């Protein structure tokens, strides 16, 4: 195989290591701009479909924006001399960046907050002026390789250790200059010295807040409106410079993680200069950036040719090895290595009868030159069928049929029908008399009872609305639990957002004491209600799939900074009509401790915390005020116990009729724990929740085993003998989002520029057949394939068999 673009990048990837990176040129530490393509854009997140190969970058994008929203809100909310001491201190920041890593072990491998020159006002330095900045400050965490740590007896990486330091202290600490070399994120927004761009690169975000001092009573009946400056909110056609999150090109993180990484960057905004009554001299300014890193080696690339499915420019486009009669299709999960594609025969061609399709890219890459030249071919299909021409038309309506999906080449035909003389009367009787085709799991591949149950589920879902939900019985507002099949995988990163907050709360409550003091650094302090309101608001504002998020404390657990204890405390944020709201749910009439999701989680973790996982933080602090060097934290390493994402709980779909969310949602609940100093144990302290919309769930109607709890399984009408069902991704809660692929030894026979049969077409044609209309339902299947030409050797074999059989019967 000849040398291509992948070999060039792989050579650069292998040539740079942690030992020689400091001697390399800057160009050797940066890869080309268009290596990572199909990058998520904020203004197109809701109109684009992101497949599995890019959902990790979407989560990286959302987490960077999450931190930018939080620190922009908290710095401007606590922007007085009286509230200066309540700002997040250095321990808060160290635990925050560590929680980003520990809650996302496979996606985020680095998290940092880089503040610009003289833009950070520390409230955690003893004998330091309130209105004085420090030159540089940057808490940064990356995943530590603990393979050879003393407490790792198996000598295997555990992905549960984070290394944290202040990048603004020690050797080579000035990350604002070009000679730092590992800062391609700096020049996106920093330094912010041009006020003329304030109106186009910053946005005024509005939130509505409601607080309470005692259970069941709010301070005021209406919401308090608060506006703060934050990342930009661009229009659909705005350029990359106006986006709130931008991605760097792949670069080598020399001296830190010593890996090739890609970073998502979002700006942190403050109203500068702080603590000034001269408002006309102040302006919204980018004071720093929130940076999230992921390993470049784990990012998939698309080796197929540039086109609609792989928009260019792409440095690695065209590095596949599919032949001319087969099309390239990307595969997820391969990262930066060859073979992440498959070759599917194009329309009008088929796979050989002895080949189990498709042709996998990793098999092609491992083949010899002779195997490649003689194999991986797609012979042509002969005697293909043309679509019927219909003159008389009749409209057909199908219950819960998604017309927006049915936009293929068959739309103009499938929505037209003609009455025929012969009606398929007795069709159902003939079907019942025939023996049912059974699957490998001992059940029919199509289950009529399951199909009827699906229709009942759709009817129940559509019958409940915001206007009538309070008049219905509680049972009408709950769907069966198996309706939410697949939520744990499709909304994994939204659950990770809740898990990240649970990790932070657990780490803070188990390690921080109000009166701690570490020389020139003040102690941990307490969590303030403004901190937690900002955290839940950031969860909702940064992710379009999160409708609401909340923190719900166990009764008499939350302590105010003045040492008073609250009976209940539950900051809860949600989005409504394009706005963002946050309230203390302790002020509601119904206590959140009575909710099913709270009781379920409390019963599970209140007495048994044995299966919690232990996480480590190797924390380094600046040795003095000037940051001359870094020293170990006095509690090195910092440890805490917290749950994993699997230990959280997804609740069944419910209609949240509360005048806030008012839609069908699925709730993820995960606990957090506080430490008991005397016994050195942890105790259940509350839960973190997020709500995601049921309408964004993608269902799977294909056949599955009996033990799979999926309400929609075995409802696809693919032809059993000749086709195999496949779920089509990207269609939200659609019962027709499936396709039927031809099995091995069968071929697609229609001249419609397709290679598979769409589920929407099958469902529509089936309804036509039941109503006595012209229908293609019985023809929507694949044909047994045969070679168009019989080779000379095959003729000799058949002749010999005929002679042998003739002599046997003589």
pLDDT single digits (tens) 377-419: 999 988 888 877 765 555 676 666 654 433 333 333 444 444 3
Residue 365 C-beta-side C-alpha neighbours within 13 Å: 13
Bridge-based pairing of strands 110-115 and 139-143 is antiparallel
What does the mean pLDDT of the chain come to? 87
Q: Say how far apart CA 711 and CA 458 lie, in whole Å.
A: 11
- Spatial contact of 534 and 674, defined as CB atoms under 8 Å apart: no
Q: Give the pLDDT score at 807.
A: 52
The percentage of the chain sitting over the pLDDT mark of 90, rounded to a whole number, equals 58
Question: Nearest 5°: phi and psi at 707?
Answer: -85, -5
Could you tell me the pLDDT band of residue 798, with boundaries at 50, 70 and 90? very low
Return the higher-pLDDT residue of 300 and 524.
300
Return the higher-pLDDT residue of 480 and 126.
480
Q: Say how far apart CA 604 and CA 608 lie, in whole Å.
A: 7
189: tokens are: 């927004």
Tokens 């012979």, residue located: 379
Could you tell me the pLDDT band of residue 800, with boundaries at 50, 70 and 90? low
Q: Give the pLDDT score at 415.
A: 43
**Position 795 pLDDT exceeds 60:** no
Q: Which residues are registered as beta bridge partners of 687?
A: 552, 671
pLDDT single digits (tens) 688-732: 999 999 999 999 999 999 899 999 999 999 998 999 999 988 888
Per residue, what are the HEC states of 516-578? CEECCEECCCCCCHHHHHHHHHHHHHHCCCCCEEEEEECCCCCECCCCCECCCCCEEEEEECC
pLDDT single digits (tens) 47-88: 888 888 788 999 999 999 999 999 999 999 998 888 888 999
Bridge-based pairing of strands 283-295 and 110-115 is antiparallel
Q: Say how far apart CA 219 and CA 433 lie, in whole Å.
A: 70
> What's the rounded mean pLDDT across residues 147-159?
85
Contacts of 518 (CB under 8 A, 6+ apart): 621, 633, 634
> What's the rounded mean pLDDT across residues 519-528?
82
Q: Give the pLDDT score at 406.
A: 38
Q: Give the pLDDT score at 492.
A: 95
**CB count in 10 Å sphere of residue 88:** 23
- Spatial contact of 360 and 322, defined as CB atoms under 8 Å apart: no
Q: Give the pLDDT score at 401.
A: 63
> What's the rounded mean pLDDT across residues 128-135?
85
Question: Nearest 5°: phi and psi at 179?
Answer: -70, -10
Q: Which residues are registered as beta bridge partners of 747?
A: 783
**Position 596 pLDDT exceeds 80:** yes
Tokens 């990350």, residue located: 175
CA-wise closest residue to 437 among 182, 703, 207:
703
Q: Give the pLDDT score at 263.
A: 95
CA-wise closest residue to 72 among 278, 276, 272:
272
Could you tell me the pLDDT band of residue 428, with boundaries at 50, 70 and 90? very low
Question: Nearest 5°: phi and psi at 243?
Answer: -75, 150
Q: Say how far apart CA 231 and CA 228 lie, in whole Å.
A: 10
Q: Give the pLDDT score at 470.
A: 92
- 429: helix, strand or coil: helix
Question: Nearest 5°: phi and psi at 7?
Answer: -65, -35
| Highest mean pLDDT out of 50-64, 569-583, 768-782 | 569-583
Bridge-based pairing of strands 212-214 and 139-143 is unpaired
Residue 594 C-beta-side C-alpha neighbours within 13 Å: 6
Return the H-helix or E-strand segment holding 691: strand 681-693
Helix axes 529-542, 55-77, angle to 10 degrees: 140
Q: Give the pLDDT score at 420.
A: 36
Could you tell me the pLDDT band of residue 801, with boundaries at 50, 70 and 90? low
Question: Nearest 5°: phi and psi at 572?
Answer: -135, 125
**Position 435 pLDDT exceeds 50:** no
Q: Say how far apart CA 55 and CA 181 lie, in whole Å.
A: 29
Q: Which residues are registered as beta bridge partners of 162?
A: 143, 617
- Spatial contact of 438 and 629, defined as CB atoms under 8 Å apart: no
**Position 462 pLDDT exceeds 50:** yes
Q: Say how far apart CA 374 and CA 549 lie, in whole Å.
A: 57
Assess whether the previous peptide bond of 358 is cis (omega < 30° from 0). Answer: yes
Per residue, what are the HEC states of 12-25? HHHHCCCCCHHHCC
> What's the rounded mean pLDDT across residues 541-558?
96
Bridge-based pairing of strands 139-143 and 326-330 is unpaired
191: tokens are: 């330094």
Q: Say how far apart CA 484 and CA 419 lie, in whole Å.
A: 40
CA-wise closest residue to 746 among 783, 720, 787, 789:
783
**Position 342 pLDDT exceeds 60:** yes
Q: Give the pLDDT score at 431.
A: 41
Contacts of 421 (CB under 8 A, 6+ apart): none
The percentage of the chain sitting over the pLDDT mark of 70, rounded to a whole number, equals 90
**CB count in 10 Å sphere of residue 734:** 20
Q: Give the pLDDT score at 419.
A: 36
**Position 219 pLDDT exceeds 80:** yes
Identify the structural domains of the chain with CATH numbers, from first to last.
Answer: 52-299+487-695 (3.30.450.20)
Q: Give the pLDDT score at 311.
A: 84
């Amino acid at each position: 195989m000849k040398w291509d673009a992948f070999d060039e990048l792989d050579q650069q990837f292998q040539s740079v290591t942690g030992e020689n990176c400091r001697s390399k040129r800057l160009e050797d530490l940066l890869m080309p701009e268009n290596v990572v393509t199909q990058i998520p854009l904020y203004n197109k997140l809701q109109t684009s479909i992101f497949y599995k190969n890019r959902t990790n970058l979407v989560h990286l994008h959302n987490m960077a924006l999450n931190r930018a929203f939080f620190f922009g809100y908290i710095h401007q909310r606590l922007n007085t001399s009286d509230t200066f001491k309540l700002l997040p201190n250095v321990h808060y920041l160290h635990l925050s960046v560590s929680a980003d890593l520990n809650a996302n072990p496979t996606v985020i491998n680095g998290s940092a907050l880089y503040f610009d020159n003289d833009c950070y006002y520390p409230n955690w330095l003893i004998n330091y002026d309130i209105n004085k900045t420090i030159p540089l400050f940057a808490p940064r965490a990356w995943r530590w390789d603990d393979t050879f740590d003393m407490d790792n007896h198996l000598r295997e990486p555990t992905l549960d250790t984070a290394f944290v330091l202040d990048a603004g202290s020690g050797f080579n600490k000035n990350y604002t200059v070009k000679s730092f070399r590992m800062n391609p994120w700096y020049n996106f927004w920093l330094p912010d010295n041009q006020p003329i761009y304030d109106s186009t690169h910053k946005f005024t975000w509005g939130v509505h807040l409601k607080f309470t001092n005692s259970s069941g009573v709010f301070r005021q009946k209406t919401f308090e409106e608060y506006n703060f400056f934050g990342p930009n909110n661009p229009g659909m056609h705005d350029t990359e410079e106006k986006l709130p999150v931008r991605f760097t090109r792949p670069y080598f993180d020399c001296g830190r993680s010593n890996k090739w990484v890609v970073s998502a960057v979002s700006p942190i905004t403050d109203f500068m200069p702080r603590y000034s009554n001269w408002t006309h001299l102040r302006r919204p300014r980018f004071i720093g950036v929130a940076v999230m890193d992921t390993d470049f080696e784990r990012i998939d690339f698309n080796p197929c040719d540039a086109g609609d499915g792989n928009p260019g420019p792409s440095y690695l486009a065209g590095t596949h090895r599919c032949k001319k009669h087969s099309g390239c299709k990307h595969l997820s999960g391969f990262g930066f290595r060859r073979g992440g594609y498959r070759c599917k025969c194009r329309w009008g061609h088929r796979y050989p009868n002895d080949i189990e399709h498709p042709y996998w890219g990793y098999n092609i890459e491992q083949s010899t030159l002779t195997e490649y030249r003689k194999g991986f071919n797609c012979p042509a299909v002969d005697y293909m069928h043309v679509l019927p021409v219909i003159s008389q038309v009749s409209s057909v309506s199908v219950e819960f049929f998604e017309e927006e999906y049915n936009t293929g080449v068959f739309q103009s035909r499938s929505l037209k029908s003609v009455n025929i003389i012969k009606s398929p009367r007795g069709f159902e009787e003939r079907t019942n008399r025939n023996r049912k085709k059974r699957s490998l799991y001992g059940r029919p591949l199509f289950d009529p009872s399951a199909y009827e149950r699906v229709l009942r589920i759709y009817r129940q879902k559509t019958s409940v609305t915001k206007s009538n939900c309070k008049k219905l019985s509680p049972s009408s507002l709950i769907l069966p639990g198996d309706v939410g099949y697949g939520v744990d995988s499709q909304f994994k990163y939204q659950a990770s957002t809740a898990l990240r907050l649970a990790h932070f709360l657990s780490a803070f409550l188990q390690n921080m004491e109000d009166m701690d003091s570490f020389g020139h650094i003040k102690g941990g302090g307490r969590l303030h209600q403004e901190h937690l309101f900002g955290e839940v608001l950031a969860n909702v504002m940064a992710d379009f799939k999160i409708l609401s998020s909340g923190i719900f404390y166990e009764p008499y657990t939350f302590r105010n900074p003045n040492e008073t204890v609250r009976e209940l405390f539950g900051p809860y944020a949600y989005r409504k009509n394009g706005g963002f709201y946050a309230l203390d749910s302790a002020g509601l009439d119904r206590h959140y401790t009575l909710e099913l999701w709270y009781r379920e989680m409390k019963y599970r973790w209140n007495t048994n915390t044995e299966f919690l996982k232990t996480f480590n933080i190797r924390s380094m602090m600046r040795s003095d005020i000037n940051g001359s060097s870094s020293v170990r934290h006095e509690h090195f390493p910092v440890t805490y116990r917290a749950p994993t994402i699997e230990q959280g709980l997804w609740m069944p779909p419910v209609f949240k009729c509360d005048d806030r969310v008012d839609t069908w949602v699925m709730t993820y609940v995960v606990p957090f724990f506080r430490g008991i100093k005397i016994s050195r144990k942890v105790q259940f302290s509350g839960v973190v929740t997020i709500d995601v919309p049921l309408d964004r769930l993608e269902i799977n109607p294909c056949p599955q085993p009996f033990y799979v709890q999926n309400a929609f399984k075995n409802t696809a009408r693919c032809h059993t003998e000749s086709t195999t069902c496949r779920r089509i991704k990207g269609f939200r809660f659609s019962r027709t989002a499936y396709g039927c692929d031809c099995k091995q030894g069968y071929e697609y026979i229609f001249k419609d520029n397709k290679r598979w049969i769409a589920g929407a077409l099958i469902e529509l044609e089936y309804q036509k057949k039941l109503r006595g209309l012209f229908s293609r339902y019985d023809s929507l299947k694949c044909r047994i394939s045969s070679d168009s030409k019989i080779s000379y050797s095959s003729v000799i074999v058949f002749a010999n068999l005929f002679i042998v059989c003739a002599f046997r019967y003589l």
